[in-house]
Amino acid sequence: MAKLTGKVALVSGSGRGIGRAIAVKLAAEGARVVVNDLDAEPAKDTVGAIESAGGQAVACVGSVTGPGFGDRFVATAVERFGTVDVIVNNAGYTWDSVIQKMTDEQWQEILDVHLKAPFQILRAAQPVISAAVKADRAAGRPVPCRKVVNISSIAGLGGNAGQSNYAAAKAGVTGLSKTLAKEWGRYNVTVNTVAFGLIRTRLTETPAGGGGTIDVQGREIKVGVNPDLLATLESGIPLGRSGTAEEAAGAVYLLCTPESDYISGQTLVCGGGFSS
């Protein structure tokens, strides 16, 4: 039997890149997945990929920073699959500038997507988890170990030039995770953080000719790393290369398995040997 059979997982930002790889991995191990993306088509594509492989998934489209999103995300899981067992707060992007050029909007948007949104999703999940635990205890059933994995970055551990907003948000994710590990231990919930190093996604890849951007709710955000700089960064990684989305998903999966049932409040660095 797959290790996550019967579990229900929410994965934010799972229409593309690392989030998609996480959703597909969890589904391949038996989880029923609530897929989220800002845009409908990527979310539907991920749902389709999971269903084509014999899994179960449903899309919850929209921005994680939108009003009431956390409640809607959790409600989708409960209405479709009956409960919540795994939460992966993955959605996010970068909007970089040195501090003297960073606007208040840049600062706040990145804190909202990387820190406020996970807080709101987890707050929305608490009543569902608490009620399920009380029901199990009242019926004399064992309380299953539920999992929260919040996605951070080595920028949140050691800082990164041009990313004061992103580094601050990701450092906050660590504080949020450690606090909830203490608050939710009584529910038999483990809360951990995965801090990614250099992972190849659309946010790090520069298209041929340069000038890559992504559209985030009408904003054109520059993405991509100069190929020469990317090669330099990779040379400083002990494994000598950047990671893949599937490898990043593997790190998250480790903290969702029964083997991690006594690991909580920790940060796992997925960086090929490079930490900060």
Residues serving a catalytic function are 166
Query: Which tokens is 84 given?
Result: 């919540």
Task: Tell me the C-alpha distance between 81 and 275, whole Å.
Answer: 38
Torsion, Cα of 68, 73, 79, 83 (10° steps): -120
DSSP string, 142-197: PPPPEEEEEEEEHHHHH--TTBHHHHHHHHHHHHHHHHHHHHHGGGTEEEEEEEE-
Q: CB-based contacts of 251: which residues, under 8 Å, 6+ apart?
A: 194, 196, 268, 270
User: Residue 221 forms beta bridges with which residues?
Assistant: 214
Which H/E stretch holds residue 33? Answer: strand 32-37
Say if residues 275 and 154 touch (Cβ distance below 8 Å).
yes
